[in-house]
Structure 1
Amino acid sequence: MSISQLQKNNHLLLRAGFGPQLSQFEKLDNWKESEIRGVLFKNYPFQPLALKEKPIGIDYQNIKKMDSVTKKMALQKNRKQIYQLNLSFLDQMVFSEDQLREKMAFFWHGHFATRTNNASFNLQLLNTIRENALGNFGDLLISVSQSPAMLQFLNNQQNKKDHPNENFAREVMELFTLGRGNYSEKDVQEAARAFTGWSFLPDGTFFERPKLHDFGSKTFLGKTGNFNGNEVLQIILAQKTTAKFITTKIYRFFVNEKLNTEIIEDLSKQFFASNYNIKELLQNIFSADWFFREENIGTKIKSPIELMAGMRRILPMEIQNPENLIAYQKLLGQMLLYPPNVAGWPSGKSWIDSSTLMLRLQMPQIWSGLKPLEVEPKSDDDVEMGMKSTQKQTKGFKNPKIVIDWKQVEDVFKSKNIENYLLQRKSPALAKTIQQYSGSSLQSQIINVMSTPEFQLC
C-alpha cells in the first residue's frame, strides 16, 4: 500500500509519543514531518512529579515494630500516594507537550523495572528516569543503579564482603546493559564484590558503607583492578555489546518487534560513537526513511498504557474518580509502578488474551457510558506486594464517572474520514463495519471505529 502523509504523521506521533492530541488533527494531513520532529525534540523545561503531601517512606524491615493501628494507617497512606503517583505519571503522558520525554520515560520505566511499596522511593526513581530519559545512558544507568528503589528491589542491601549477594550485579548485566550470553558467571561474582557496600539511608540518599565493601582485586570482563561499583559500570559501558543491546531494545519498542539486524547494527555503532546520547539515537530513528516503511506502520499492538493514554488524548474528558483508572491497568495487565518482575512487561501479542481483548474493544463504549464494566479487578498479592485489595475496595473501581466533551470531538471530525485519522491499518471486515454504522451519529461512528481491532494497533 502507498503511505499517505497523514499515516506518516500519525505514525510519528503514535511511536514518539502517545498519539495526536485532539487539536492536532486539524493540521495532521499536511503537517511536515520535520515540523513534528521539531515539536517532539524541543527542549522543554523539566517538570518533576510531586505528591500532594510529603511522601511517606516506610521501612519494611522495621514495620513489624509498629502497632497494628499505626501500621494499617501507614500502609493505607503509602498505597494512596503510590496510586496518586501512578496517575500523575499517566497524566503526563496524556497532557504533557513533552511527549518524547514521557514516551522515553515510559520505556525506561519498563527497562529498569522495579517494585517498591515505598512512595518516596518510587517518586525519586520516576523523576530520575524522566529527567534523564533523553540524556546520556551512562548517567541514567548510574543514577538508577544508585537509587534506593533499585538497590532495595535487587537486594543490594544484603551485598556484603565475605557474603556477596549477586542479584543486583546479575540483573545489571543481563537486563539493563549487556544482555544474556555476553558475560560469564565469574563476571557476575566479581561485579557483585564491586557493588558490596552500596546502600542508602532511610531518606533514600545513596550511601556507600566502607566496612561492608570488598576492597580486594577483581577481574571483570577481562580487566583486573581494585574496582568499585562505578568502575564496573564504566567497564560495562565501554563494551560495544551494551550499545547494541540497548539499541535493539529501543528498536523493538519504537519501530518493530521484528528486528532488522542491519539497521540495528548501524544504529548501535552511532549510539556507541555518540557516547550513548539517547536523543541523538532517537533522532536517527525518527528521521530515517525506513522508519516510515509499510512494514513498520500499524504493526505494533498498543500496550494498555499506550491505549489508555491515546484514547484520553483523542477524547477530552473529565474523570470524576481518576483513581478508578487503576482498575483498568490491573485488568489489562500493565499497572504503572508494578511491573510483573525485574524483566519488565512483555510486549506484542502478550498483551492480548480472551479477557483483555474483550475489555480493550469495549473500553470506548464503557468510557462513553454506553456499557458498564462487568469484570472485577482480581486481587493479586504478587503484584500488590502486601497491599492486597479487598473485594469491597475493588468494587468501587467500576465507574470512573467519565464525561466526554463530544461537541469538541465532533467539531474536529465532522468533515473528516474518521477511520483514516484514527486507524493505521484497515481490513475488509472493517469496511463492512463502517458501512453498517454509516447512518449513525458522528459520536457513534467514532466510538465504533475506536472499538475495532484495528484501533489496537499503532
Structure 2
Amino acid sequence: MSETRRHSSRVAPQANAAPDEATLVDADDARHLLVRTGFAPRAEEVAPYVGLARADAVARVLATARTEPVVPMPAWVAQLPPSREQRRAWTPEARLAEQRERGAHYDELRAWWVREMLVTPSPLTERMTLFWHGHFACGQDKVGEPRLMAAQNATLRRGALGSFASMLHAVAKDPAMLLYLDGASNRKGRPNENFAREAMELFTLGEGQYTQRDVTEAARAYTGWNLDPDTSAFVWRADLHDDGEKTVLGRTGAFDGDQVLDILLAQPQTARYVCAKLWREFVSPQPDDAQLSDVADRFRASRYDVKVALGALLLTPAFWDEANRGVLVSSPVEFIIGTMRRFEVAYGDTLPLARRSAALGENLFYPPNVKGWPGGAAWINSSTLLSRKQFVDALFRATEAARPAKPHAASEAKKSAASDLTANAAMNGAGRNAMQGGMRFDLDGWLAHFGLEADTVPALSAQLQMQHAVLPLAPVDAIAAGSNAGAYLQALLMDPVYQLK
C-alpha cells in the first residue's frame, strides 16, 4: 500500500497490555474494524474509535451486541399456522391463495431484515446473525412456512454473540431445521442421516473428521425429534426414538440427540472449525495456524462463548495487518447495506434492496444449498460486477441538492415492517425505476464532510481523504484529471477495490 494511504498514531505499549492491543487506532484502523464487524460506517460512527487502544476499540464494538431487533417483526410471525383440519378443508383456489400469501410473507420478511440492518445501532449483531444464517443454512425451498424462518432468525440473533453450544442445541431442534434437513422424518428403524451428517460436516467438525458409521449411529440418536402437525412446534416422540446403544466418535452409550451434540462439542476440532470460519469471515481467506490455535483454545476454554472468540480474533496481529486489508470481498448484503449506511442514503420501501441482493447472489432466507453461500471470490463474476456498478449508477441518479428527513431515522425504525407491503403495491411494475425512485442520496451533503460540493474539483489532499473514506486500498483504475468531486466519488465507487473490505 502507498505510504500516502496510512498515517501513524502509535504509542508505546501500556505496562499491562500486549503491544498490539495497546496500539492506538487511527481513522483508517477504525474504518477497517467497523467495516469488517458490520457494514460501512457513517463518518460520525468512526470518530469515537479514533485514539482508542485496539483492545478498547474491540471492546466497544462487542459492547453493542443486541439480542432483539429494533424493527418489530411482521404481525403474522406470532400467528399460528392453519391446522390440519383447516388445511383439509381448503379448496384448490384457497390452497393457491395460501401459497401466494406465503410468498408475499417471505418477501416481507426479507424487506424487514434489510430494514433492520439499515437502522440497527449494532451492525455487528446483524452481521453475526447473517453469518450464522449461512452456517446453519435453511431456506425457503424446503421451509414453506415463513413464520418458521422468522423464528429461526430470532434464535440466531439471540445467540449471535452468546453461547455457540446453546445455539447449536437450539438450532438442532428448530422447526425450520427439522424440515430443511429432514429431521422430522427421522424415526426408529428408518433413520434419516441428513441432519447427523451436516451437524458434523457443516456445524461442528468439518469434512474428514468423522466416519460414515459415526453418521449412521448419530442419526439413530436424533430419532424422536418431531413436529406438531398442527402448530409445527418441536415435540419429543419417545415412541419414535431408538433408545439402543450407539457408538459415536469412539464413545458408546444409549445416547439421545442432545448427548451426541455434547460429544461433538467436546471435540477440540469443533472450536477450531468454527473459529476458522470466523477467521475467513472477518480476517482473511487463509488463517494463520498459530494465531487460529490461540483463538480456538480461548473459545473452547470459555465453553464456546462467541464474544470471547470474536474478541480474541479481532485482537490478533493478523486482523490489523496491512497485508490483510482489502483481501475480502463484500457480500451483496454488505455491499448494499454498507453503501446505504455510509452515504446516509434515504429510502422508502426496502424490498427492492432485498431483491437487488438476491440478483447479486445473496437471497436472504434462500441459500443455494445446505452449505450456505460460498462467499469470497464467488460473489464476483462479470454479471454480478455489472449489477453492482448499476447499483452505484442508480445511486448517483438519485442525488439531490438538499436531503429531506430520512425515512430511516429513529422514529421510522419503530414502524412495523408491514408498511413495506403498502409501498410494494404502489411500486409493483415500476421495475428499475422503482429502485432508483426509492433512494435519495444527498451528494453535496456527504461531500460537505470534505469541504466540497459536487461541482468542485478536489485538490489532491481531498482526493486522498475521499479514498480513505470509501476504499480499503488505493484505486486500481485511473481517474480522469480535473474530475469534479461528484465524478471523482463515482469513479471511486465504480473501482473494483470498492467491492473489497
TM-score range, shorter chain: 0.7 to 0.9
Q: Distance in 2 between matches of 1:150 and 1:104?
A: 19
Paired with 2:483 and 2:170, the residues of 1 have a C-alpha distance of 56
* 1:73 aligns to 2:97 (yes or no): yes
Structure 1 residue 52 corresponds to structure 2 residue 100: no
What is the deviation of 1:87? 2.2
Per-residue Cα deviation, 1:192-240 (whole angstroms, up to 9, x for no partner): 0000010122434321111111111111111111100000000100000
Give the 3-state SS of the residue equivalent to 2:76 in structure 1. Answer: coil
**How far does the alpha carbon of each residue in 1:388-426 deviate from its partner, in whole angstroms, 9 at most, with x for none?**
xxxxx9854422221123343122233652111111111
Query: Can you list the C-alpha shifts for 1:175-198, whole angstroms capped at 9, x where unaligned?
Result: 111111111111111110000010
How far apart are 1:29 and its partner, in Å? 5.8
**Deviation at residue 454 of structure 1 after TM alignment:** 0.9
Q: After superposition, where does 1:273-422 map in structure 2 within 5 Å?
A: 273-369=301-397, 396-398=430-432, 399-400=434-435, 401=437, 402-414=439-451, 416=462, 417-422=465-470
Which of 53, 69, 87 is matched with 2:111 structurally?
Answer: 87
What is the Cα deviation at residue 446 of structure 1? 2.3
Q: Does 1:454 align with 2:476?
A: no
Work out whether residues 247 and 264 of structure 1, in 8 Å CA contact, stay in contact via their aligned partners in 2.
yes
The RMSD of aligned alpha carbons is: 2.4
> Any conservation in 1 of the 2:280–2:287 contact (CA below 8 Å)?
yes
CA distance in 1, matches of 2:431, 2:199: 37
**CA distance, structure 2, for counterparts of residue 263 and residue 60 of structure 1:** 52
Determine the C-alpha separation between the residues in 2 that align with 1:73 and 1:220: 46
In structure 2, distance between residues paired with 1:177 and 1:38: 27
- More displaced 10-residue stretch of structure 1: 105-114 or 411-420: 411-420
Listed one character per residue, the Cα deviations across residues 243-292 of structure 1 (whole Å, up to 9, x for unaligned) are 11111111111111122122212211221111111101111111223211
Take 2:49 and 2:443, find their aligned partners in 1: how far apart are those partners?
A: 20
Counterpart selection for 2:272 from 214, 237, 244 = 244
Question: Residue 42 of structure 2 contacts residue 344 of structure 2 at CA under 8 Å; is this kept in 1?
Answer: no
Cα distance change, pair 28–132 in 1 and its aligned pair in 2 (3 A): closer
Partner of 2:208: 181
Aligned to 1:110: 134
Cα distance, 1:30 vs structure 2: 4.9
2:483 is matched with which residue?
A: 439
Provide Cα deviations, 1:334-361, integer angstroms capped at 9, x if missing partner.
0111100010001111111111111112
112-121 vs 39-48, greater mean Cα deviation: 39-48
Contact 1:94–1:312 under 8 Å retained in 2: yes
Q: Which residue of 1 aligns with 2:58?
A: 37
Match of 2:45 among 1, 17, 24: 24
Alpha-carbon distance between aligned partners in 2 of 1:79 and 1:330, rounded to the nearest angstrom: 15
Cα distance in structure 1, aligned partners of 2:55 and 2:297: 24
Partner of 2:30: 9
Say if 1:132 and 1:25 are closer, same or farther in 2 by CA, change over 3 A: closer
Determine helix, strand or coil for the equivalent of 1:343.
coil
SS at match of 1:339: coil
Distance 1:63 1:437 in 2: 67
SS at match of 1:207: strand
- Specify the SS of the correspondent of 2:101: helix
Unpaired segments ≥5 residues, structure 2: 8-25, 400-426, 453-461
Given that residues 221 and 242 in structure 2 are in contact (C-alpha distance below 8 angstroms), is that contact kept between their aligned partners in structure 1? yes
Q: Secondary structure at the match of 1:54?
A: helix
- Compare 23-32 and 75-84 and name the one that shifted more: 23-32
